[in-house]
A and B are shown apart, each in its own frame.
Chain A
Amino acid sequence: AQKITQTQPGMFVQEKEAVTLDCTYDTSDPSYGLFWYKQPSSGEMIFLIYQGSYDQQNATEGRYSLNFQKARKSANLVISASQLGDSAMYFCAMREDSGAGSYQLTFGKGTKLSVIP
């Protein structure tokens, strides 16, 4: 079974509008971290935001916020006031806190976001 599922291969959003990118995850580990990365066409993966499994509040970083619903195992990324420079691939990732995979970031397949002027 996939550990990270991103169901939207591609999304379009009008400039200045908000957009939500979906991510669901699967783990039996009580301690884990969830990450969102942005990958522009240049290839570099840019860290955006982090949510810990024990964090009480949803993470926010500027225009990025993470809608963390632990019971539903979802960690959706919300981008407010979209800009043309937000056009990129967005990856959700998880790191589990125990066992042999504790160093591993497991990535989803990504969502390609296109911002329309």
Chain B
Amino acid sequence: ETGVTQTPRHLVMGMTNKKSLKCEQHLGHNAMYWYKQSAKKPLELMFVYSLEERVENNSVPSRFSPECPNSSHLFLHLHTLQPEDSALYLCASSQDGQLYEQYFGPGTRLTVT
């Protein structure tokens, strides 16, 4: 596989469920990101990991919990979500460094019922 992959592509979960989103990058990058894309809103950065350490957490509710076990994998653990959390969740990776472009995965379309 090449590029950035995300699984699952679609997820429907109830508010009491626990689920995880997975992201894997095959580009040799050392920074990974989670973004949330809601309808009619700009992309919102949620978390940034650089060299497997979390370097940014943009005031994201604790019901979202990221995990970066190594530089190729990134998870987003979800629990007790709200319907307003329904969105497209995009993972991205880049070389560490401010001006490198980020490469995105196809996203997970999450619906919270």
A interface residues with partner B (beta carbon < 8 Å): 4, 31-33, 35, 37, 42-47, 50, 52, 91, 93, 95-98, 100, 102-110
Contact = CB atoms under 8 A, between A and B. Distances in A.
B60 interface: no
B55 interface: yes
B101 A45 contact: no
B64 interface: no
Contacts of A47: 101-104
23 contacts: A4-B42, A31-B98, A33-B98, A33-B99, A35-B101, A35-B102, A37-B104, A43-B106, A44-B104, A44-B105, A45-B43, A45-B104, A46-B104, A47-B104, A93-B43, A95-B98, A97-B99, A104-B45, A104-B48, A105-B45, A107-B43, A109-B41, A109-B42
B101 A44 contact: no
Interface string B68-106: 000000000000000000001010100000110111111
A100 B58 CA distance: 11
B43 to A, nearest CB: 4
A37 B49 CA distance: 21
A103 B107 contact: no
A64 to B, nearest CB: 13
B105 A102 contact: no
Contacts of A50: 99, 101
A35 B42 CA distance: 14
B101 A43 contact: no
Given A42-B106, A44-B107, A108-B42, A103 B31 contact: yes
Nearest to B50: A103
Given A43-B109, A45-B90, A52 B45 contact: no
A103 B42 contact: no
A43 B88 contact: yes
B56 A104 contact: yes
Contacts of B109: 43
A50 B102 CA distance: 11
